[in-house]
């Protein structure tokens, strides 16, 4: 059992609602930063998507994983990331050896709890938008990789 200290009525309401408003906590610049980090994270997921799953289910599985993780993680950032990776049956070796993911973790570990909660909240409240942007970014990455391999 844990005891939560609540300083004021506003904080109580936030705890009770189990969410934070990413705009009021982080400001407009941070909101844009969180959006970009969400898109980057989600656009990384096809790289580690399980070979045991059908590729034609890739974006359905990723989007369902995001949704499922936001409902199960209790605003715990590391649980959220882990639940998403579990849902897509990510290859642990690919995750651990990926520089893009490593850089993402290095960056996010330095962020405040409010930032991390705002990240989860953004994925939950902008669910369709963030998955669409991430898919666009993934398609751009594939196109770039194709250009590099064609030289």
Q: What is the pLDDT of residue 79?
A: 97
The parent domain of residue 75 ranges over 26-150
Judge contact between 35 and 130, C-beta under 8 A: yes
Residue 104 lies in a domain: yes
Collect all residues with Cβ–Cβ distance below 8 Å to 73 and sequence separation of at least 6.
79, 80, 83, 120
Per-residue pLDDT tens for 80-104? 999 999 999 999 999 999 999 999 9
Residue 15 lies in a domain: no
Residue 18 lies in a domain: no
In angstroms, the CA 20 to CA 96 distance is 30
- The band of 106, judged by pLDDT with boundaries at 50, 70 and 90, is very high
Which among 135, 147, 144 has a CA at the least distance from the CA of 58? 135
Residue 7 lies in a domain: no
Proportion of the chain above pLDDT 90, given as a percent: 70
Residue 133 lies in a domain: yes
Structure-model confidence comparison of residues 131 and 14, the more confident one:
131
Residue 4 lies in a domain: no
Residue 13 lies in a domain: no
In angstroms, the CA 119 to CA 112 distance is 11
Per-residue pLDDT tens for 1-25? 444 555 555 555 555 555 444 434 5
- Give me the number of domains the chain comprises: 1
Residue 9 lies in a domain: no
């Amino acid at each position: 059992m844990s005891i939560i200290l609540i300083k004021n009525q506003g904080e109580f309401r936030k705890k009770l609602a189990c969410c934070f408003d990413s705009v009021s906590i982080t400001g407009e610049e941070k909101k844009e930063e969180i959006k970009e980090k969400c898109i980057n994270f989600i656009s990384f997921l096809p790289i580690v998507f399980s070979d045991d799953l059908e590729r034609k289910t890739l974006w359905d599985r990723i989007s369902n994983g995001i949704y499922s993780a936001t409902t199960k993680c209790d605003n715990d950032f590391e649980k959220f990331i882990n639940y998403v990776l579990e849902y897509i049956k990510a290859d642990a070796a690919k995750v651990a050896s990926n520089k893009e993911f490593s850089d993402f973790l290095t960056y996010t570990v330095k962020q405040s709890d409010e930032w991390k909660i705002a990240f989860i909240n953004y994925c939950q409240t902008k669910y369709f938008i963030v998955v669409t942007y991430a898919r666009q970014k993934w398609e751009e990455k594939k196109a770039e990789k194709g250009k590099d391999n064609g030289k």
